[in-house]
Structure formats: C-alpha cells, structure tokens
C-alpha cells in the first residue's frame, strides 16, 4: 500500500510539472517579448540622450573656437590701426621705432596667457620688433635677438595676402631653431600685411596665439559632459584626441600614419562627406554614434563680424569637431539598464513559474476529492496574493524612486548655494556659472519630481463630487497669476454661470494647469487674451480655456497629453511637460474627456467635460 501511494504521488507530481511547464513556456515567452520591447525602447532612449549630449558638446565646442578666434581677429585688427604703427610705416626713424615698440609691448602686457609673441616683420621677413610673453612677463627682444623669419610658411602666406586681410595659419606646434619646442606649445599664427598711407605694403604683423588654453577648454568641456571630443585638421590628424599620443602626428616623421583616415577609413569618409556642406552631421552606425561639424574659421568669423568685412579672414585650413561613441562604450553605459531589466525578468519569471506550478497543481488535484480541491484553491489564493503584492510594489516603484531622489537633490542644491554665497570670491565667473547651472538643473529636476508625485497622487486620489463654479475658480486662479507677475497686462473674459460638479481639489489642479499654460504661452503676444467659458454646441456641452498665444501644430496634437511631451523648446517656454498629462488624468478620473485645438502663433483652446456622459455620447 505504501508503495502504491508513493507511486501515485510520484505520478501526480510528474503530471503537475508537465502541466506547469506547458503553462510557463508561453507565459515566459510573452514576458521575454515584452521585456525585450521595453529594453529596446530604453536603449533607443539612451541612444537619443547620448546623441543629444554629443550635439550639445559639438555646438558648445564650436562656440568656444569661435569666441577665441574672434578675440584674436579683433586684436590684430586693433593693432593694424594703431597710430604709432601708421607713423612708423609712413616716416620710419628711431623715435618712431621706439614709440611702436612701447605701444606693442603695452598691448602684450594685457594679453598674458593668450599670446606667446607679437612680431613686426619687414618686407624681407626680418624681425624689426618682437615682444615675448613666454617667460611669464612681457619682454622686448634686443636687436641681437631679432631673427630672420623669411623661410617660414606663415610669413610667405601672409605676405602673399592682399592688404587689409587677416591670415590664420594652420594649427601646429611651435618650432624654434628648427626643433619642436618642449614641452609642446600648440600655436596659431594670426597675421596681417600692413602698408603706409599710400597703400604700399611695408610689413607683416604676426600674433602667436597660445593654443594650449583653447585645447584645455575643449578637454574640460568633454570631461564635464563625459562625452568623447576630437579636434581634427583637414588631413584627419588629431589636434585633440582621446589620448595625448594621438595628437600632432603630422609634426613627426614617425607620426605620418597617425590619422583617422588610416585607423578607420570608412568613418573618416563619412565625416568628410557629411560635414562638407557646413551642416552638422549626426548619424548612427552599428559600430557606434557619431556627431561631427566642420569648423571653417573664415566662414565662422566672417558671419559673426560682418562689420569687419574690410578685414577679410583667410585661412588655408579648417578643423573638424568629432564626437564618436563606439558601441563598446554605449554598451558600458547601458550595462546598469540591462542588469536592471534582467533582474526584473528573472523575478517575474520566477513568479510566473510559481503561478504555473500552482495552476498545474490545482488542475491535477481537482481530479481527486473536494478536500484536495479546497487545499489547492487555498494555495492558489496565496500565489495570487503574492502576485498582486508584487504588482502593487511595481506600481509604487516609480513613486518611491521619485521620492527618494529629493534628498540628494536638496543636498546638491544646498551645497551649490553655500559655495556661491560663501566662496564666490574664490571662484571666477566660469566657476560661479557652473555652480549656478548645477543649482538650476537640480531645481528643475526637483520640480519635475514634484510634478511626477502630483501626477501619481491624482491617480490614487479618491473622488468626492460637489457643486462647482468654474468661473469663480478661474477668476481666483488668474488673480493669483497676476499677483505673481504684476507687470503682465492681458484681457480676461469669463462667462457667467459656469456651474458643474466634481472634486474641488482635483478640478482646481486641472484649471490651474490650463490657465497657467494660457498665461505662459501668451507672454510673447502683443495683445494677450484668455477666455474661459462653455461651448453648448458640443454634445454634451463642454467647458473651454482659450488663449491667443503661441499655439501649436495640430500635426502633433496626439502628443499633447503625454507625460514629458513638449511642443515648444524649454528656453522659449519653461516647464516639465507634466501639466496637460495631469489635466487629462483629472478629467478621465471624472469620467470626462479632453481635447485641444490650435495653430502656430494663433493661440490654442482646450475643451473638457467632467461627466461620464461625455464619453458615452461622443
């Protein structure tokens, strides 16, 4: 008998396991498909985020180059118009020479750390005046120290340029007496040919611009954003790369092959072709993410300084700013995301396995007796309870994460504020700007978290209907907005008798968001107007909030009520993208519906109902 019972028990468990496996396999397949879809979406979001950061780094790097070269351009133009230079070119003489030398030295005393040398070369390439800043102080070269620069390419190129033009040399390392200076001194020579009052060319003024501070700023920009940044010349040599040994290969006999064209010909061809028209290049490949832009000093500075068109900039070279994130680096950034998805998949897979075993066990046991069936049902209830608990925990996960982010954000904002207040005198303007940016970002994220929490609370809030006057509510909200922005003047039209029923707190939140949006998007309108009323032509009648502000493109109307969806740039109209999503949650919680209409620069109107009949009748 014992052997028979043991045999029956063993057979029952085999049936249970077989049945559980048949249930679990399709469930785990569906779960795997869903998790793969979620992972693919998150990876796509990561790629877009990295691509956006690449674009931002490239744009800011181009701005850094433009600002620095603009400074050099203006300085050389200023020097070429100095009265002491004009008098020396016209009449010469020892006295005029001394006056010019003092004038150039005075200029260089204000440019430590920017220029290495300022030279005045005569028509034969001989130095007539040289002012050095290389030793940390301004020094005028003696007559015995003056050199012959007639064999230097930049003298010939500058002398060949027409009068009134500014020549910018290629970016390379400084060479003294035929030897590359150690430590390396990246250098740009900015030169202009000058002449006397009759228009006869007499000399060349050359500024040796120190390139290392410029490269240092680009390196700091890349480090702060944690994005790779290269600076290449037109021959694909690195001026700035991921490693110091990559740079300046063209200056050394054994470095002629240290080019991107040699290391990755396909990537270089893509960059060269994609940036040829002057527009930035943003592309995705199986091998990684690419962002690049061609920087042509001639075009950039001519576009920036149309007033100095008489000093045309000439440059024989251009540079290319490149941000390349290979797939290995992208995978490294995605590793925490992948690990989190795997943990969720394993957890849910175990829960599904438990559920499958429970269902299979119930099915087998059901064939036995009523007593066995009751026990199986109890186990199923326990399993279902565990699954429901897990689902509730998953629902509260986003709320908990948002809530737990508050403390580090407050700490970041607080310490940044303490640094700004207590150590402002020890920080330069850029350092204070960085801290202010940190505070702004932390405060914006805090507001975003607050909006997320508010959105979450609305979903869980209990609905308590009572009679409401939307007109009085709108008037109260608009008065609060006017108090917060007393310099705004706009026309307000509120229809009378806007009676309805709903949860006062939730409807106030919805009206607050709609009216705040109308207030915000009419801020740039000449004669702003906000209307609140009821449209009886709708069935059932709907309430509306209308403005004549920035409006929106109806092609993107399907994105209006999505969380974090924005149809305007944050720099134009600040916000978190939660407002309309919150309004939709409130309206749907009341059993109503909401829709919007608008046109660009012609305003927008949002209709909504607060009764379930709106859904049935529509």
Cβ atoms of 238 and 231 within 8 Å: the answer is yes
Q: What is the pLDDT of residue 308?
A: 45
Q: What is the mean pLDDT of residues 73-92?
A: 91
- Greater confidence, 466 or 450? 466
Whole-number pLDDT of residue 97 = 93
pTM of the complete model: 0.53
Q: Do residues 291 and 54 touch, judged by C-beta distance below 8 A?
A: yes
Domain count for the chain, please give it: 2
Q: Give tens-digit pLDDT for 495-510.
A: 998 998 888 888 888 8
The CATH number covering residue 197 comes to: 3.30.450.20
**Domain carrying residue 97:** 81-213
Q: In CATH, what number is assigned to the domain containing residue 509?
A: 3.30.565.10
Q: Where are the alpha helices (DSSP H) in 461-536?
A: 470-484, 504-521
Token pair, residue 530, equals 């906000």
Q: pLDDT exceeding 90 applies to what percent of the chain?
A: 28
Query: Looking at the domain assignment, is residue 384 inside a domain?
Result: no
What's the pLDDT at 105? Answer: 94
Question: Average pLDDT for residues 87-113, to the nearest whole number?
Answer: 92
Tens digit of each residue's pLDDT (9 = 90 or more) over 349-386? 899 888 888 888 887 777 666 656 667 678 777 776 66
Q: Is residue 90 part of a domain?
A: yes
Q: Say if 104 falls within a structural domain.
A: yes
Sign of CA dihedral 156, 159, 162, 165: positive
Look at residue 543 in the predicted model and tell me its pLDDT.
93
| Residue 144 within a domain | yes
Residues 6+ apart with CB under 8 A from 378: none
Q: Tens of pLDDT along 160-195?
A: 988 888 888 889 998 887 888 888 899 999 999 999
* pLDDT tens digits, 312-357: 556 667 899 999 898 888 888 888 888 988 999 999 989 988 888 8
| 318 in a structural domain | no
Q: What residues are paired with 320 via a beta bridge?
A: 232, 294
Strand partners, 535: 542
Q: Is the pLDDT of residue 425 over 50?
A: yes
Q: Which residue among 213, 240, 263 closes a domain?
A: 213
Tell me: pLDDT of 613 over 60: no
pLDDT confidence band for 458 (50 / 70 / 90)? low
pLDDT-wise least confident of 222-236, 416-430, 469-483, 501-515: 416-430
Task: Give the domain-ending residue among 146, 179, 213.
Answer: 213
**pLDDT the model gives residue 130:** 95
CB 362 within 8 A of CB 15: no
Distance separating alpha carbons of residues 521 and 601, to the nearest angstrom = 10
Task: Say if CB 120 and CB 101 are below 8 A apart.
Answer: no
Residue 107 lies in a domain: yes
Question: What pLDDT does 83 receive?
Answer: 93
pLDDT tens-digit map of 560-606: 676 655 555 555 555 556 677 788 888 888 888 888 888 888 888 99
Distance (Å, rounded) from C-alpha 82 to C-alpha 75? 11
Q: Contact 289/334 with Cβ under 8 angstroms?
A: no
Residue 292 forms beta bridges with which residues? 281, 322
Within a domain: 406 = no
pLDDT value, residue 532:
92
Please, what is the average pLDDT of the chain? 82
Q: Would you tell me how many other CB atoms lie within 10 Å of the CB of residue 468?
A: 19
Q: Is the pLDDT of residue 104 over 90?
A: yes
Q: Which of 73-77, 336-340, 444-448 has the lowest mean pLDDT?
A: 444-448
Sign of CA dihedral 298, 301, 304, 305: negative
610's CB contacts (< 8 A; 6+ apart) are 500, 501, 502, 507, 543, 587, 590, 591, 592
Half-sphere exposure of 313 toward its Cβ, with a 13 Å CA cutoff? 28
Residue 300, burial from CB neighbour count under 10 angstroms (0-12, 13-18, 19+)? buried
Domain boundary among 164, 191, 213: 213
pLDDT tops 90 at residue 11: no
Q: Are strands 604-608 and 166-168 parallel, antiparallel or unpaired?
A: unpaired
Q: Worst-scoring range by mean pLDDT, 41-45, 107-111, 235-239, 394-398?
A: 394-398
CB 610 within 8 A of CB 592: yes
Helices (H), 205-326: 212-225, 260-263, 265-274, 297-304
* Residue 165 within a domain: yes
Residue 288 in tokens = 């990684």
- The pLDDT of residue 456 is 60
């Amino acid at each position: 008998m014992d052997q028979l019972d043991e045999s029956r028990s063993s057979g029952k468990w085999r049936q249970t396991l077989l049945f559980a496996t048949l249930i679990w396999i399709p469930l785990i397949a569906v779960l795997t498909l869903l998790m793969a879809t979620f992972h693919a979406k998150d990876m796509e979001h990561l790629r877009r985020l990295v691509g956006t950061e690449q674009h931002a780094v490239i744009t800011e790097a181009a701005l850094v180059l433009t600002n620095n070269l603009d400074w050099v351009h203006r300085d050389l133009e200023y020097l070429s118009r100095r009265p002491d230079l004009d008098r020396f070119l016209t009449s010469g003489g020892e006295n005029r020479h001394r006056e010019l030398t003092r004038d150039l030295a005075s200029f260089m005393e204000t440019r430590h750390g920017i220029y290495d040398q300022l030279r005045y070369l005569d028509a034969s390439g001989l130095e007539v005046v040289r002012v050095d800043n290389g030793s940390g102080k301004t020094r005028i070269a003696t007559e015995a120290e003056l050199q012959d620069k007639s064999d230097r390419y930049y003298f010939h190129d500058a002398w060949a340029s027409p009068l009134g033009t500014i020549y910018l040399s290629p970016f390379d390392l400084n060479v003294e007496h035929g030897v590359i200076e150690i430590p390396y001194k990246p250098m740009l020579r900015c030169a202009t040919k000058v002449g006397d009052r009759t228009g006869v060319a007499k000399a060349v003024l050359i500024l040796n611009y120190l390139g290392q501070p410029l490269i240092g700023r680009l390196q700091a920009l890349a480090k702060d954003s944690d994005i790779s940044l290269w600076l290449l010349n037109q021959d694909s040599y690195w001026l700035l790369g991921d490693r110091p040994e990559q740079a300046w290969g063209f200056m050394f006999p054994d470095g002629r092959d240290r080019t991107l064209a040699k290391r990755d010909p396909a990537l270089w061809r893509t960059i060269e072709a994609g940036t040829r028209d002057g527009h930035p290049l943003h592309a995705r490949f199986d091998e990684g993410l690419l962002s690049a832009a061609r920087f042509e000093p001639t075009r950039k500075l001519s576009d920036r300084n149309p007033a100095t068109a008489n000093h045309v900039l000439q440059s024989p070279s251009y540079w290319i700013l490149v941000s390349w994130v290979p797939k290995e680096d992208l995978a490294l950034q995605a590793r925490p995301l992948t690990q989190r998805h795997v943990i969720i998949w394993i957890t849910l897979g175990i829960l599904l396995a438990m559920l499958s075993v429970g269902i299979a066990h119930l099915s087998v046991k059901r064939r036995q007796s009523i007593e066995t069936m009751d026990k199986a049902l109890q186990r199923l209830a326990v399993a279902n309870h565990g699954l429901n608990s897990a689902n509730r925990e998953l629902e509260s996960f986003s709320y908990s994460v948002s809530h737990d982010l508050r403390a580090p954000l407050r700490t970041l904002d607080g310490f940044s504020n303490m640094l700004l207040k207590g150590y402002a005198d020890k920080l330069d303007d850029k350092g204070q700007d960085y801290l202010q940016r940190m505070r702004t970002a932390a405060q914006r994220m805090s507001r975003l978290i607050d909006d997320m929490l508010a959105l979450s609370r609305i979903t869980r809030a209990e609905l308590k209907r009572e009679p409401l006057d939307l007109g009085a509510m709108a008037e109260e909200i608009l008065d609060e907005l006017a108090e917060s922005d007393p310099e705004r003047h706009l026309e307000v039209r509120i229809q009378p008798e806007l009676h309805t029923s709903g949860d006062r707190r939730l409807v106030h939140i919805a009206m607050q968001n709609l009216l705040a949006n109308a207030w915000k998007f009419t801020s740039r309108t000449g004669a702003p107007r906000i209307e609140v009323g009821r449209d009886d032509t709708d069935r059932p009648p709907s309430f509306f909030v209308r403005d004549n502000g920035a409006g929106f493109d109806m092609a993107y109307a399907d994105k209006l009520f999505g969380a974090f969806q924005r149809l305007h740039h944050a720099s134009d109209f600040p916000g978190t993208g939660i407002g309309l999503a919150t309004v939709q949650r409130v309206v749907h919680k009341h059993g109503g519906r909401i829709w919007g209409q608008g046109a660009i620069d012609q305003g927008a109107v949002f209709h909504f109902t607060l009764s379930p009949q709106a859904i049935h009748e529509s």
